[in-house]
């Protein structure tokens, strides 16, 4: 039976007097932070209808802790550069000429243009991309309702490789896996800078595990906060993680350090894996990775000693190299050989809330027409429906397999998130209608034909979301303050467009009406969320998951886990991929080693900003106003570059820009690293404009630079040259 955690009408209390001498009216609302995709449960504290501070929801998380972005939410509310109402373009795309429109006019305009495009080119000519969130179910339902299969997420430039790797081995996506940090004895974080990432809950769990005795090994190309907390930090050559993992697998098998009983019962095609990694010795990998063979062997031995209470985390954002899919797959195979699937301190399977929410997408059948990106036909082996957005953009220009003529980007900024924005704009010239549904200005919104401004999260009652995990729960985002401008909830925008196109089942008069729809059959009511913003729900499954099946501190099994694959086991050889002409075990391909003034461009995120969305936030701008270029100390010295100097970076197509240098000890010399999200140019972004460089502009041809197996974008396969700006550095 559902078990309510508690309720939520805003708590009102009297506080200090305000400037008028009248007592201030303070409120506290339980909600979900929308400053990034983590959706942390929060408390929003307001005074006289304006947000004053935001902290963690103590009833759901046990902590007031929150990342800097969540804490900076009030600055977003007060940002003078926010969108203030619907806009329709009047001049050329990207020219900055707009006219204001009321909501009826803007929605009627978009609906009529969509109706015309679908009548001429078919419903499949409409593309939608999003950064997933509470409105995702509505977005998927909208696309199904109009009959288009071309719904994409940002995943191609994020977790696509890790997700597909998990599907090929275990039959389920990465989202079904949960890392049991609390009971982990040895944690390897490979390219996962978890202590500087967006998930504060994960960071807290890792630090608590360290305090409890868990050993931490960090594998990365540069020094990180995570590496500073590690027992061992291994600097690896960019692009060679797959070779490193193959050598770990080789050592585990050659020295018989793997869990033979688990492999016998739960891993299919072990002989094929053994034969494949036989030549991949630590000595061979050392020459590729610039990591001593002894280090690789010692790590494999420590893993075996700690097994099965081990986690090899192969990364979250895995859109890095053309071999990142196989890197992610080999990381999961390391976990399999160590028997960590289903073991305490290993990889557990998430429990989903039961009974589940009613979904809007289920109201409509999945469109039968094939996708423009080739998923399901040209790439029949790809699982899930996140899509390959770059392939849809290429289809817009080529018309193959059919033209894309309308594109709606919601809570997503592809001109910043994907590489080579100049090529993207050229491809989008073939699109007749470009619509941005967004709470803030973005490069994509600036290039759009119509902007439909959504509420920021502080102002929005949003659809209920399901949170998987050890304690499955349903969570509700509540509006804490009234809307400051003429904006609307994103789900309302799609519902109104759907109604105008003849699909009134997606139109809801209020959030309460939408919530009641979602809660049908759960036994819950809206009031069950009032005390904490969430409702825990019991897991009612009759068959044990792999997480429930493991028993005993020695890692023994009460019942072997059964995986949702055809064989019920982890499948080294994925039959679907083999049938699609893709090898399940691909040989490692040596990577280019730059020299002289040539560097491999690497990018990443920082806990102080969310992609390119928060650089104009006054509070976050103060703590991180622009990015810089990290260069290994020895390479900087060889080029006569000092810490803080200005350098000119030039891409393969001649695009260049100036940026300050961070001379970095302990960084691999092949790499030049910069944070993503900077280099804004929009005039209304008065804080962010002209600060730092935009990494995506240094990736010419990046839309066609993809992982050989999965098709996901490879963001870190680009090279730049570096030259000191002598005059700017006071030496010219």
Residues pairing with 247 in the sheet? none
Read off the pLDDT band of 379 (50, 70, 90). confident
Helix, strand, coil abundance in the chain, percent, nearest 5: 35, 20, 45
User: pLDDT per residue over 425-449, tens digit each?
Assistant: 999 999 999 999 999 999 999 999 9
Looking at residue 36, what DSSP letter applies? S
Looking at residue 135, what DSSP letter applies? T
Averaged pLDDT, 526-545: 72
Helix runs in 648-687, H state only: none
Higher-confidence residue of 200 and 30: namely: 30
How much is the mean pLDDT over the chain?
Answer: 91
pLDDT at 280 over 80: yes
Higher-confidence residue of 691 and 175: namely: 691
Range in 210-219, 337-346, 353-362, 500-509 with the lowest mean pLDDT = 353-362
Cα–Cα separations (whole angstroms), residue 538 to 493, 541, 609? 33, 9, 35
695-699: long-range pairs with CB below 8 Å, 24+: 695/601, 695/603, 696/416, 696/417, 696/418, 696/419, 696/420, 696/421, 697/420, 697/421, 697/422, 697/651, 697/655, 697/657, 698/601, 698/649, 698/651, 698/655, 698/657, 699/419, 699/420, 699/601, 699/651
Query: Which positions ≥6 away from 556 have C-beta within 8 Å?
Result: 550
Nearest to 114 by CA among 145, 153, 83, 140: 145
β-strand 534-536 against 570-571: which pairing, if any?
A: unpaired
User: pLDDT per residue over 642-680, tens digit each?
Assistant: 999 999 999 999 999 999 999 999 999 999 999 999 999
User: pLDDT per residue over 120-147, tens digit each?
Assistant: 999 999 999 999 999 999 999 999 999 9
Cα–Cα separations (whole angstroms), residue 136 to 14, 50, 345, 518? 38, 28, 32, 13
User: pLDDT per residue over 567-607, tens digit each?
Assistant: 999 999 999 999 988 999 999 999 999 999 999 999 998 88
pTM for the whole structure: 0.93
Averaged pLDDT, 393-397: 95
pLDDT at 15 over 50: no
Averaged pLDDT, 519-528: 95
Looking at residue 129, what DSSP letter applies? E
Predicted local distance difference test score (pLDDT) of residue 25: 81
State the chain's maximal CA–CA distance in angstroms.
80
Alpha-carbon distance of 668 to 45, in angstroms, equals: 45
User: pLDDT per residue over 546-573, tens digit each?
Assistant: 334 333 444 444 467 889 999 999 999 9
pLDDT at 20 over 70: no
- Give the whole-number percent of the chain exceeding pLDDT 90: 80
Predicted local distance difference test score (pLDDT) of residue 730: 60
Predicted local distance difference test score (pLDDT) of residue 549: 36
Read off the pLDDT band of 81 (50, 70, 90). confident
Cα–Cα separations (whole angstroms), residue 259 to 186, 190, 253, 306, 562? 16, 22, 10, 11, 17
* End-to-end Cα separation, the chain, in angstroms: 75
Predicted local distance difference test score (pLDDT) of residue 175: 83
Sheet bearing 50-56, strands edge to edge: 11-17, 23-32, 41-47, 50-56
Predicted local distance difference test score (pLDDT) of residue 7: 30
Predicted local distance difference test score (pLDDT) of residue 648: 98
Alpha-carbon distance of 144 to 141, in angstroms, equals: 5
Query: Which positions ≥6 away from 273 have C-beta within 8 Å?
Result: 249, 253, 333, 572, 585
Range in 42-51, 57-66, 131-140, 357-366 with the lowest mean pLDDT = 57-66
CB 256 within 8 A of CB 340: no
Averaged pLDDT, 6-16: 32
The tokens of 460 are what?
């929005």
The tokens of 638 are what?
């060889």
Helix runs in 341-398, H state only: 389-398
Helix runs in 64-199, H state only: 68-71, 73-77, 103-121, 136-146, 160-170
Which DSSP string do the residues of 294-313 spell out, in sequence order? Answer: HHHHHHHHHHHHHTTSEEEE
Alpha-carbon distance of 472 to 135, in angstroms, equals: 20
Cα–Cα separations (whole angstroms), residue 195 to 109, 189, 223, 550? 46, 10, 12, 29
The interaxial angle of helices 282-289 and 293-306, nearest 10 deg, is 120
Averaged pLDDT, 192-213: 89
Residues pairing with 436 in the sheet? 409, 451
């Amino acid at each position: 039976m559902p078990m309510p955690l508690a309720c939520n009408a805003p708590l009102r209390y009297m506080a200090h007097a305000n400037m008028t001498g009248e007592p201030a009216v303070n409120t506290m609302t339980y909600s979900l932070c929308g400053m990034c995709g983590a959706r942390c449960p929060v408390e929003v504290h307001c005074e006289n209808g304006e947000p004053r501070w935001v902290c963690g929801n103590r009833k759901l998380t046990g902590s007031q802790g929150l990342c800097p972005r969540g804490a900076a939410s009030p600055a977003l509310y007060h940002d003078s550069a926010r969108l203030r109402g619907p806009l329709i373009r009047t001049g050329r795309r990207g020219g900055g000429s707009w006219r204001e429109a009321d909501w009826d006019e803007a929605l009627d305009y978009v609906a009529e243009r969509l109706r015309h495009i679908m009548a001429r080119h078919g419903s499949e000519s409409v593309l939608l991309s999003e950064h997933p969130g509470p409105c995702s179910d509505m977005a998927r339902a909208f696309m199904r309702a109009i009959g288009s299969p071309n719904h994409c997420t940002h995943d191609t430039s994020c977790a696509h490789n890790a997700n597909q790797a998990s599907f090929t081995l275990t039959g389920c996506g990465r989202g079904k896996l949960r890392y049991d940090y609390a009971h982990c004895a040895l944690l390897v974080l490979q390219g996962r800078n978890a202590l500087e990432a967006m998930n504060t809950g994960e960071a807290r769990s890792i630090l608590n595990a360290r305090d409890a005795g868990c050993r931490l090994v960090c594998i990365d190309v540069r020094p990180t906060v995570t590496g500073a907390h590690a027992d061992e930090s291994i600097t690896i050559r960019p692009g060679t993680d797959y070779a490193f993992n193959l050598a770990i697998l080789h050592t585990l098998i050659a020295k018989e350090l793997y869990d033979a009983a688990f492999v016998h019962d739960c891993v299919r095609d072990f002989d094929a894996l053994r034969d494949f990694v036989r030549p991949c010795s630590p000595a061979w990998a050392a020459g590729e990775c610039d990591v001593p063979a002894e280090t690789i062997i010692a790590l494999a031995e420590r893993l075996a000693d700690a097994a099965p209470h081990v986690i090899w985390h192969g990364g979250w954002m895995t859109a890095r190299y053309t071999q990142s899919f196989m890197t992610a797959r080999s990381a999961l195979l390391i976990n399999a050989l160590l028997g960590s699937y289903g073991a305490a301190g290993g990889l557990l399977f998430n429990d989903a809330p039961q009974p589940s929410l009613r979904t809007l997408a289920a109201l409509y059948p999945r469109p039968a027409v094939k996708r423009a990106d080739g998923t399901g036909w040209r790439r029949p082996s790809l699982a899930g429906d996140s899509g390959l957005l770059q392939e849809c953009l290429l289809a817009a220009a080529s018309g193959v397999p059919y033209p894309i003529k309308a594109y709606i980007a919601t809570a997503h900024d592809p001109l910043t998130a994907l590489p080579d924005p100049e090529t993207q704009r050229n491809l989008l010239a073939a699109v007749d209608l470009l619509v941005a549904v967004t709470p803030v200005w973005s490069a994509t919104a600036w290039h759009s034909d119509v902007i439909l401004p959504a509420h920021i999260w502080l102002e929005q009652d949003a659809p209920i979301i399901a949170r998987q995990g050890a304690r499955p729960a349903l969570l509700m985002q509540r509006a804490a303050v009234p809307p400051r401008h003429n904006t609307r909830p994103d789900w309302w925008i799609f519902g109104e467009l759907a109604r105008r196109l003849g699909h009134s089942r997606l139109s809801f008069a209020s959030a309460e009406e939408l919530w009641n729809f979602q809660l049908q059959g759960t036994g819950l009511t809206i009031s069950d969320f009032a005390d904490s913003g969430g409702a825990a729900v019991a897991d009612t499954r009759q068959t044990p998951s792999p997480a429930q099946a493991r028993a005993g501190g020695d890692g023994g099994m009460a019942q072997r886990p059964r995986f949702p694959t055809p064989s019920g086991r982890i499948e080294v050889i994925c039959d679907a991929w083999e049938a699609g002409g893709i090898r399940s075990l691909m040989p490692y391909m040596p990577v280019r080693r730059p020299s002289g003034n040539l560097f491999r461009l690497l990018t990443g995120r920082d806990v102080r900003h969310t992609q390119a969305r928060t650089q104009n936030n006054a509070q976050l701008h103060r703590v991180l106003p622009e990015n810089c270029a990290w260069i290994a100390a020895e390479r900087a010295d060889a080029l006569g570059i000092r810490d803080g100097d200005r350098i000119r970076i030039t891409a393969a197509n001649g695009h260049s820009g100036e940026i300050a240098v961070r001379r970095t000890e302990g960084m691999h010399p092949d790499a030049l690293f910069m944070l993503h999200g900077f280099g804004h140019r929009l005039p209304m972004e008065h804080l962010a404009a002209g600060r730092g460089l935009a990494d995506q502009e240094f990736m010419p041809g990046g839309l066609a630079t993809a992982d050989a197996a999965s098709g996901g974008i490879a963001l870190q396969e680009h090279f730049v040259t570096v030259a000191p700006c002598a005059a700017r550095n006071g030496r010219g």
